[in-house]
């Protein structure tokens, strides 16, 4: 549960008004925690006196808001969204662990329903070659299963496997990426939201990403791959290839007009 420093608390009721679970109430001029809550942290974030804490979380990681140093320009953000590209050609240079930690933090801080924080981020870099070999070893078993359940995917993966057997360097699943990320969650929506923030942060660190529906299907069809990754009983929300782009895009790509209804 949350803790309230009554010496700092002024009874302003900011936490009481903002608590989505109505777990806080100001009594006799001091905020009190009335019941177990979802620990969303709104009370910590809104208190003007920094009187609220959540001991089971890392409070040293909490940052103070400073309008002088925090400003996300709308036009700059929109341009960043427009300039993003799906990368299918990576360099051999791996993203550093320091940068990857910040990239994963962008996922860790993403909102989740009821503050479940149920996303598991499985980052494969050090053992990437071992992982790639295992994926191709599993391909015949996946093809056998898909032959009976989904002929269209069976046809597609068959072509991939034929190319790989002729030339192992012709890897149409990994595109020479230097990191492979799986996001697993009890609620796939939360994992999808985290993936979006992770991609944006990857680009901010100078890298690039590709959402891989092919790898999502591969992992979904193979218990061997799931066990190697350590997904357990969570659902696969996203598979991503990460690395530094070998190509440079000089302008944004065009899009059709938005299907938007104003009411």
pLDDT digits (tens, 9 = 90+) for 88-101: 999 999 999 999 99
Residue 68, pLDDT score = 84
Per-residue CA distances from 51 to 11, 27, 34, 246 (Å):
10, 15, 16, 49
Beta bridge partners of 211: 240
Six-digit token string for 137: 């070893």
Listed residue (9, 59, 14) closest to 39, CA to CA: 59
Nearest of 1, 55, 62 to residue 31 by alpha carbon: 1
Q: What is the pLDDT of residues 143-202, one digit of tens each?
A: 999 999 999 999 999 999 999 999 988 888 999 999 999 999 999 999 999 999 999 999
The pTM of the whole model exceeds 0.85: yes
Q: Of the candidates 70, 63, 80, 78, which has an alpha carbon nearest to the alpha carbon of residue 205? A: 80
Supply the pLDDT for residue 1.
Answer: 85
Q: What is the DSSP letter of 243?
A: E
Confidence class for position 47, pLDDT limits 50, 70, 90: very high
Please, are residues 178 and 95 in contact by the beta-carbon 8 Å criterion?
yes
Q: What's the order of all strands across the beta sheet hosting 120-124?
A: 120-124, 179-185, 235-243, 208-211
Question: Residue 34 burial by CB count (10 A; 0-12/13-18/19+): exposed, middle or buried?
Answer: middle
**Quick one: average pLDDT of 237-242?**
98
State the pLDDT at residue 67: 85
How wide is the angle at C-alpha 93 spanned by C-alphas 123 and 175, nearest 5°? 70
Residue-wise pLDDT tens digits, 192-238:
999 999 999 999 999 999 999 999 999 999 999 999 999 999 999 99
């Amino acid at each position: 549960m949350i803790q309230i420093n009554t010496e700092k608390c002024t009874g302003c009721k900011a936490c009481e008004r903002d608590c989505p679970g109505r777990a806080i109430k100001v009594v006799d001029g001091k905020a009190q925690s009335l019941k177990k809550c979802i620990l969303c942290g709104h009370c910590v974030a809104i208190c003007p006196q920094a009187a609220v804490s959540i001991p089971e979380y890392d409070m040293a990681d909490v940052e103070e808001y400073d309008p002088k140093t925090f400003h996300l320009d709308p036009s700059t953000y929109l341009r960043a969204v427009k300039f993003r590209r799906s990368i299918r050609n990576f360099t051999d240079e791996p993203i550093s662990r320091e940068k990857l930690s910040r990239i994963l933090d962008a996922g860790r801080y993403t909102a989740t329903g009821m503050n479940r924080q149920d996303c598991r981020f499985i980052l494969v870099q050090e053992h990437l070659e071992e992982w790639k070999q295992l994926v191709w070893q599993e391909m015949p078993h996946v093809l056998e299963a898909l032959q009976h359940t989904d002929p269209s995917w069976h046809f597609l993966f068959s072509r991939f496997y034929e190319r790989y057997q002729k030339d192992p360097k012709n890897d149409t699943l990994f595109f020479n990426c230097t990191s492979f990320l799986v996001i697993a969650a009890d609620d796939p929506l939360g994992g999808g939201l985290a993936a979006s923030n992770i991609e944006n942060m990857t680009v901010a660190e100078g890298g690039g990403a590709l959402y891989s529906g092919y790898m999502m299907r591969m992992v979904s069809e193979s218990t061997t791959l799931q066990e190697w990754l350590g997904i357990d009983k969570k659902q696969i929300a996203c598979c991503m290839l990460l690395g530094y782009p070998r190509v440079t895009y000089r302008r944004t790509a065009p899009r059709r007009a938005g299907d938007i209804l104003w009411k």
